[in-house]
Amino acid sequence: MSEAIKHNILFVDDDPDFLLTLRDLYEMMSEHSWQIYSAISANQALEVLDKERIDLVVVDVNMPVIDGIQFMGILQHRHPKLKRAVLTGLATPEKRAASLANGADLFIEKATSPEGYKSIFAMFGELLQWQPREGFQGVLRKVGLQDVIQMECLARNSSILEIYNQHVLGRIYIEDGQMVHAMGGDLKGEHALYRLLSLPGGSFELAQFEPPPEKTLNGSWEMLLMEAARVKDENAANVKEEKGADAQLLSNSAPKTSSRLDETLVCTRAGDTLFDAIPEDVQSRVSWLQSVEQQSAKLGNVLALGEFDRLETQLAEGRVLSLVRGGKLIFVRVSTAIGSK
Amino acid sequence: MDELLQQWLDARLSVPGMIACAVAGADAAPACRSADESCPPDLMAQIICTMQTAAPVPGIETAAVRWQTWVFANGKIRAATRSDGWTFAAAVRANSDAAQILDPLTEEFLALKQAEQ
């Protein structure tokens, strides 16, 4: 094997002549920096994958026994980090959708000219260079804030944790596996971090990293998390509930309130649910949020009150917040009970 | 519209930051007051009508709702409906005196009718 070889690519197609042509063509075009492997069936391809370090698999759709779309699903399960492309002679919208749904990174129609194969070569080259976006994708359920921070730091990721509850909108910035900035309410730095990590309830979301406005956290993430746990324990001994910004205005003689987060829902404007902790009927909440956003646009326009922030529904014992944040719709319901001090 | 509600509404209009306010019964035409030309009485009438016919919050009994506040960058719209069907709505500037006293003002409205009864 030449030292110049950088990428191993496996083509899977039931046409051996096509495989030979592709191998000769792409090894020549890459000046032998691509090592081309071939397989005429899914089974043979899996054998190659078990033996060789493959960077990219390119699969035909129409193959006997296991077709390319099914094979994409198998690859997604067995080799989730592998880059995958579909190359087919019969491209249809249905096949494209099915391929992408089964984990294909690229869906390409076979070329009918040398120029076309040059374009495909360039696309495979791009795919080989492409680095997937780091971070979570999907729905987080019953995962603690500290767990997510720990995972992000251990993986040396860069991301932003956005945290919501009835009193606080906070952010924790993680850059290359270190917590570098935290903000929540009027607080910044360690005070904000400890407060956010002490919240008794709320929702959070992992957002794509952007540079923080400033850096307010120093020290290792392990120490910061340990200190946060200590502060939380200390506070728990004296205070049984989170005191929000409003509560700070109360006098010492005022009765304390305790809060409980009953419902949380985050969805897109199109109504796709991203996170929910709702006991029942998620769809009615989604529809409600969409109607709130529409209504707010009308009200904001006629009165020129600027950008809509939230709708607060004050209940006899609690509050419902309907928010629009960063293109997402958020529904939070909190119960409060007043007790004597 | 009873006189007490009219007088109460007139007195609240002078609070700095108040854009407009209104009260309306379930079957009565709204009484609207405006302190700012950006929201004339007929517009406030539309707004209070919108508040009266707004969809209920899912999972919440209507009777459990004390009031609703639409919060914008530059102001708020508050609406409160009593069990007798009377609704109060106010549009206020952000960070104004009127914004600061929205809660007690609404409590006043909610208590006003109870005192009458």
DSSP for chain B, written as a single string: --HHHHHHHHHHTTSTTEEEEEEE-SSSPPEEEESSTTS-HHHHHHHHHHHHTPPPPTTS-GGGEEEEEEEETTEEEEEEE-TTS-EEEEEEETTSHHHHTHHHHHHHHHHHHHHH-
Residues of A with CB under 8 A from a CB of B: 263, 280-281, 284-285, 287-288, 291, 295-296, 298-300, 302-317, 320, 333
Position A245 scores a pLDDT of 39
What ipTM does this complex have? 0.93
Residue the block writes with tokens 């950006």: B38
Measure Cα distances from A47 to A40, A50, A53, A105, A220 in Å: 11, 5, 12, 22, 44
User: Lowest-confidence range among A89-93, A181-185, B31-35?
Assistant: A89-93
Predicted TM-score of the model (pTM): 0.47
Position A228 scores a pLDDT of 80
Q: Is the pLDDT of residue A8 over 90?
A: yes
Mutate to test the interface with B, among A314, A317, A331, A333 (most CBs of B within 10 A): A314
Chain A nearest-CA residue for B74 = A305
Q: Work out the pLDDT band at B84, boundaries 50, 70, 90.
A: confident
| Helix or strand (DSSP H, E) at A320 | strand A318-325
Mean pLDDT of all residues belonging to chain A = 79
Q: Does B72 touch chain A (CB under 8 A)?
A: yes
| Dihedral sign, Cα of residue A146, residue A148, residue A153, residue A157 | negative
- Whether B68 sits inside 8 A of A313 (CB atoms) is yes
Number of A–B residue contacts, CB under 8 Å = 87
How far, rounded to the nearest angstrom, does the alpha carbon of residue A131 sit from its chain's CA centroid? Answer: 15
Higher pLDDT, A249 or A328: A328
Instruction: Kindly report the nearest CA distance between residue A170 and chain B, in angstroms.
Output: 18
Q: Does B40 touch chain A (CB under 8 A)?
A: no
Instruction: Kindly report the nearest CA distance between residue A308 and chain B, in angstroms.
Output: 4
Q: What is the pLDDT of residues B23-33, one digit of tens each?
A: 998 777 889 99
Position A142 scores a pLDDT of 46
Contacts of B77 in chain A (CB under 8 A): 299, 303, 305
Contacts of A317 in chain B (CB under 8 A): 64
N residues, chain B: 117
Q: What is the pLDDT of residues A126-156, one digit of tens each?
A: 888 876 544 443 333 445 677 778 777 777 7
Rounded to whole angstroms, the Cα distance separating A97 from A69 reads: 10
Position A279 scores a pLDDT of 64
Q: Does B77 touch chain A (CB under 8 A)?
A: yes
Q: Is the pLDDT of residue A21 over 50?
A: yes
For B8, counting Cβ atoms within 10 Å of its Cβ (0-12 exposed, 13-18 middle, 19+ buried), the class is middle
User: Would you put residue A258 in left (φ > 0), alpha (ψ -120 to 50) or beta?
Assistant: beta
Instruction: Kindly report the nearest CA distance between residue A284 and chain B, in angstroms.
Output: 6
Give the residue from B70, B35, B15, B83 showing the smallest Cα distance to A293: B70
- Whether A315 sits inside 8 A of B64 (CB atoms) is yes
When pLDDT is averaged across residues A53-64 and rounded to a whole number, the result is 91
Contacts of A298 in chain B (CB under 8 A): 50
Higher pLDDT, B36 or B27: B36
Q: What is the pLDDT of residues A60-80, one digit of tens each?
A: 998 877 888 888 888 877 888
How far, rounded to the nearest angstrom, does the alpha carbon of residue B95 sit from its chain's CA centroid? Answer: 18
Position B65 scores a pLDDT of 93
Higher pLDDT, A272 or B67: B67
Please answer whether residues B84 and B23 qualify as being in contact, where contact means their C-beta atoms are separated by less than 8 angstroms: no
Position A85 scores a pLDDT of 92
pLDDT > 70: percent of chain A: 81
- Whether B59 sits inside 8 A of A304 (CB atoms) is no
Q: Work out the pLDDT band at A97, boundaries 50, 70, 90.
A: confident
Q: Does B96 touch chain A (CB under 8 A)?
A: no
Instruction: Kindly report the nearest CA distance between residue B72 and chain A, in angstroms.
Output: 4
When pLDDT is averaged across residues A308-331 and rounded to a whole number, the result is 85
How far, rounded to the nearest angstrom, does the alpha carbon of residue A158 sit from its chain's CA centroid? Answer: 12
Report the SS3 class of residue A210. coil
Contacts of A306 in chain B (CB under 8 A): 72-75
Closest CB to A315 among B46, B65, B73: B65
Q: Work out the pLDDT band at A241, boundaries 50, 70, 90.
A: very low
Rounded to whole angstroms, the Cα distance separating A62 from A48 reads: 20
Position A248 scores a pLDDT of 41
User: Lowest-confidence range among A142-146, A264-268, B57-61, B90-94?
Assistant: A142-146
Position A49 scores a pLDDT of 92
| Dihedral sign, Cα of residue B47, residue A333, residue B114, residue B93 | negative
Please answer whether residues A312 and A241 qualify as being in contact, where contact means their C-beta atoms are separated by less than 8 angstroms: no
Contacts of B64 in chain A (CB under 8 A): 315-317
Q: Is the pLDDT of residue A274 over 80?
A: no
Rounded to whole angstroms, the Cα distance separating B48 from B54 reads: 10
Q: Is the pLDDT of residue A118 over 80?
A: yes
Position A237 scores a pLDDT of 57
Mutate to test the interface with A, among B32, B39, B70, B78 (most CBs of A within 10 A): B70
Q: Does B13 touch chain A (CB under 8 A)?
A: no
